[in-house]
Amino acid sequence: MTDMKNTDMEEINIATDVLVLGGGLTGIKAASEIAGSGYKVILVEKDAELGSKKGPELIGLKEEYKGLQDLEDKIKTDSNVEILTQASLVSAAGVTGDFTARLSKGKKVIEHNVGAIVVATDFATGSLNEKYGLSPADNVLTQSRMDELLASEADKEKLANKTVAFLVGLGQEGNPLVLERVLKSTLALQEIDGCDVYIYAGDLKVASNGLERMYKESREKGAVYFKLTEKPEIIENGKTISFFDTVARRNIEISPDLIVVEEELRADQLNERIAEILKIDVGPLGFLQNDNVHFFPVRSNRDGIFVAGSTREISGLPSAWTDVENIALEVRDLLGDGKKSVAKNKAVVNEDKCVICLTCYRCCPHGAIYWGDKKAVISPVACQGCGICASECPMDAIQIGGFSDEEMIEEVKSGVASGNGTPRILAFCCQNSAFEAGEMADIFKMQLPDGLRMIKVPCAGKIDLDYILNAFVAGADGILVMACHPGNCKSEKGNTYAQWRVNDAYRMLEEVGLEKDRLCFVGTASNMGSGFSSIVVDMEKRINELGLSPLK
Amino acid sequence: MIVAKRKPFEEIKTMLKDYKKVLTVGCGTCVAVCLVGGEKEVGILNAELSMARKIDGNPIDLGATTLERQCDMEFLDELENVVDEYEALLSMACGAGIQFLAERYPNKPVLPAVDTTFIGANRDVGWYEEKCRSCGSCVLGWTGGICPVTMCAKGLYNGPCGGTDDGNCEIHKDQPCAWFMIYERLAAQGRLDLIMEFQPITAWQNQKPRTLVQPGYEKREEAG
């Protein structure tokens, strides 16, 4: 969001070590990829062992598991990778390019200065036995237990001549990865002499690489699928499974030797704690996903902090590794050779005015602000120039390069005073959406009122309450605050702040005795040229009904 | 910090109705931190007032300035050269600042734009909680760091009273009982013996307007 006016640059040094949190299938790959780019990696794992010996969920993925073990062996001997097992993150101060991470291992606390942080936790599994009315017994296995049996040659032999029933997609809304585990076990069981497999399934979620093929292969080899709309009747803790087949018009009863219950896949319990320490967003169900069209999926709301694989959504090994490869590219782009050129005037704090009230620190969606001895400090690397801080500062102590209060008020005043056309409508336009939409409307010669003046802001979060009120004082007949659509703000909350301020201004206009309809908040997107036109034309109509401002 | 809130706009407008030229004076300390009386709020209030007065057909000329602190005479001196240009001063400082401003410029009407509310702490942006009634005789050392004067509806120095009800106060189920919290905190710290120590009621001197001279300055004051 760097503005063209930011030409005064300086070069700063940044840390190039990278912290990777989680030593599972995602973390091992991340450490390997990033170390492969030439950066030192500190890999932190809470357990005693790294990924390849961890959860049974990995054992189901046999072919990839081999590759994982190779990677694990490789990073263990890589001098660029420092592995800390039975360790955890305690705190992380600072900003992108300069984080100070404190890690605890036993009673020791180790401090590391890192330039970037990658959160690479894996998913956890949970039993769904209860959903099927089953309790643990010799004949009732979880999917993880089945995976374990199949991984051991000795246990595998014991499965010969067994009838195995799988329950999947009836205890939860399915997920391709859940089905993948069932299909892999089924194919493995079909290799064993005399094994019969029955699968009781709700919807079969095959939307992932190779699942359709594996499903067909298992059928061809004799697996029997029962597609049901509700759970079958389970008698005597799984001794017998029965359901009414509407085609055959009779009950189908099977008595399997073993019954395998699907498992739910959920976010790692550590996620929320990590998110709290790193000040990044937690999405639904504990995943650290940042659902924002402006970001690559692996980016968090803070520059320099990335989320990979099952940290952000349930991912099997291939998609988790794709995430990691993307992160490795982002890390290279961010850290480079440890030198970074940044704009000097992106956001400048006036030391004389700042009272260290911490408002900016608390409001910054990018975690770019901390405080020093006498004033708030804004990191030029982490700052995205949105201006939310500047507009919330109670002392007007923060100025954004190219969008200072003085320049903005001047633009407001000249916008109201200059040229022809009434009614005079000022539109504060976010440069990421409304401003581009407005330019499009103009270039394509769509209808625009003569009295319209567009004022560009770096983000709707920069639209100060002051600007809105001063525009009315200067004689504006109508004001539009044009932000990105909800959930679409590049600075996450800039549009929300703008909306709050407009609501605040409504209250004030009411107190003052000016019609509230003269002020309007709208969400826009950059491709809404004709939408922009109709919004401003509607506004003109509304103002014409109200008449010109009494403040002229 | 001292926490204040903006007066209702109508009240401010009524106070100013007979004046045509007014200087709004912000304060860059507590009231700036609690988002009510810093430079930004001065600008917003002035914009509101000038709109309202213009609509009423009675325009007002408003000046704006924000001082470091209105509770120090030295900073108030900065206004000396401009005060005469205005008919009245509208202060956005706490009650102490407003009174000092009025004392420094006794010939000018000094009007309050905020209501001083309490001494409190900042829970989140714009969210404050009262923590201290400045009773003049702090008991926090015996009460596990929880103030019964502020938190207890009766301001009891020795509690709890018979009205404590499962952690809440008899006045309202949403009002936590201060002495219950004190008990819990002291019990957790293994310092419950402190709750049995009898605390005398606050001295009368704390119930009237007080003056404070820090000990190191007493002699200097006498000499001066």
- Look at residue A118 in the predicted model and tell me its pLDDT: 97
CA distance A26 to A288: 14
Measured in residues, chain B has a length of 224
Range of the domain at B186: 134-207
pLDDT band, residue B34 (cuts 50/70/90): very high
- Look at residue A478 in the predicted model and tell me its pLDDT: 97
Name the percent of chain A lying above pLDDT 70. 96
pLDDT band, residue A345 (cuts 50/70/90): confident
Which CATH number does the domain housing residue B22 bear?
3.40.50.2300
Q: Give the residue-averaged pLDDT of A187-204.
A: 93
Contact B40 A512 (CB under 8 A): no
Q: Is the model's pLDDT at A535 over the cut of 80?
A: yes
Q: B112 and B12, same structural domain? A: yes
Q: B7 and B93, same structural domain? A: yes
Contact predicate B139/B157, CB 8 Å: yes
Q: B21 and B100, same structural domain? A: yes
Residue B39 domain-assigned (yes or no): yes
pLDDT band, residue A422 (cuts 50/70/90): confident
From chain B, the residues in CB contact with A514 under 8 A are: 51, 55
Residue B70 domain-assigned (yes or no): yes
Burial class (CB in 10 A: 0-12, 13-18, 19+), A254: middle
Contact residues, chain B to chain A, C-beta under 8 Å: 9-10, 28-29, 32-35, 38-41, 43-44, 47-48, 50-52, 54-56, 66, 122, 124-125
pLDDT band, residue A59 (cuts 50/70/90): very low
Q: Give the residue-averaged pLDDT of A114-120.
A: 97
* Sheet with A240-245, side-by-side order of all strands: A233-235, A240-245, A250-254
Closest chain A residue to the Cα of B27, Cα to Cα: A395
Q: B187 and B111, same structural domain? A: no
- Look at residue A152 in the predicted model and tell me its pLDDT: 80
Q: Give the residue-averaged pLDDT of A81-97.
A: 94
Contact predicate B24/B45, CB 8 Å: yes
Instruction: Name the average pLDDT for chain A.
Output: 91
Measured in residues, chain A has a length of 552
- Look at residue B206 in the predicted model and tell me its pLDDT: 67
Task: Write the CB contacts of A23 (distance below 8 Å, at least 6 apart in sequence).
Answer: A31, A43, A44, A45, A47, A50, A51, A83, A85
Q: What angle do CA A409, A412, A418 make, to 5 degrees?
A: 130
Residue B40 domain-assigned (yes or no): yes
Final residue before a domain boundary, out of B74, B93, B119: B119
User: Which of A470-484, B102-116, B162-176, B200-214 is the least confident region?
Assistant: B200-214
Q: A537 and A415, same structural domain? A: yes
Q: B52 and B83, same structural domain? A: yes
Contact predicate A111/A123, CB 8 Å: no
Best of B11, B40, B78 to substitute, by most chain A Cβ atoms within 10 angstroms, is B40
Burial class (CB in 10 A: 0-12, 13-18, 19+), A207: exposed
Taking only the tens place, the pLDDT of each residue in A150-169 is: 888 888 889 999 999 999 99
> Which of B35, B40, B54 lies at the smallest CB-CB distance from A396?
B40
Residue A478 domain-assigned (yes or no): yes
Query: Pairing between strand A305-307 and A398-400?
Result: unpaired
- Look at residue A185 in the predicted model and tell me its pLDDT: 92
ipTM: 0.87
CA atoms within 13 A on the CB side of A436: 12
> Which of B40, B55, B56 lies at the smallest CB-CB distance from A394?
B40
Q: Which residues of A329-345 are buried (b: 16+ CB within 10 A; e: fewer)?
A: ebbbebbeeeebebbeb
Taking only the tens place, the pLDDT of each residue in B116-153 is: 999 999 988 888 999 999 988 899 999 999 999 999 98
User: Which of A232-236, B37-41, B58-62 is the least confident region?
Assistant: A232-236
Contact B33 A357 (CB under 8 A): yes
> Which of B35, B52, B54 lies at the smallest CB-CB distance from A394?
B35
Structural domain count, chain A: 4
CA distance B75 to A325: 59
- Look at residue A64 in the predicted model and tell me its pLDDT: 64
Name the percent of chain B lying above pLDDT 90. 78
Q: A492 and A409, same structural domain? A: yes
From chain A, the residues in CB contact with B43 under 8 A are: 396, 466, 470
Contact A362 B48 (CB under 8 A): no
User: Residue B12's closest CA among B46, B38, B59?
Assistant: B46
- Look at residue A8 in the predicted model and tell me its pLDDT: 80
Structural domain count, chain B: 2
Contact B40 A466 (CB under 8 A): yes
Contact predicate A110/A103, CB 8 Å: yes
Q: State the count of interchain CB pairs (< 8 A) between A and B.
A: 78
More confident: A6 or A448: A448
Q: A310 and A258, same structural domain? A: no
From chain B, the residues in CB contact with A364 under 8 A are: none
Name the percent of chain A lying above pLDDT 90. 71
CA distance A72 to B61: 74
What's phi and psi for A541, nearest 5 deg? -60, -45
Q: What angle do CA A260, A261, A267 make, to 5 degrees?
A: 135
Contact B48 A508 (CB under 8 A): yes
Query: A451: distance to nearest CA of chain B, Å?
Result: 21
> Which of B47, B56, B125 lies at the smallest CB-CB distance from A466?
B47
pLDDT band, residue B10 (cuts 50/70/90): very high
Q: Is the model's pLDDT at A51 over the cut of 90?
A: no
pLDDT band, residue B199 (cuts 50/70/90): confident
Q: A33 and A116, same structural domain? A: yes
> Which of A357, A358, A470 lies at the smallest CB-CB distance from B47?
A470
Q: Is the model's pLDDT at A4 over the cut of 50?
A: no
The residue whose two tokens read 């759970």 is: A231
- Look at residue A528 in the predicted model and tell me its pLDDT: 95
Q: B84 and B26, same structural domain? A: yes
From chain B, the residues in CB contact with A512 under 8 A are: 9, 48, 51-52, 55
pLDDT band, residue A290 (cuts 50/70/90): low
Best of A391, A479, A511 to substitute, by most chain B Cβ atoms within 10 angstroms, is A511
Taking only the tens place, the pLDDT of each residue in B186-198 is: 999 999 999 998 8
Final residue before a domain boundary, out of A314, A336, A358: A336
Range of the domain at A296: 17-123+267-336
Name residue A403's amino acid: F
Q: A131 and A46, same structural domain? A: no
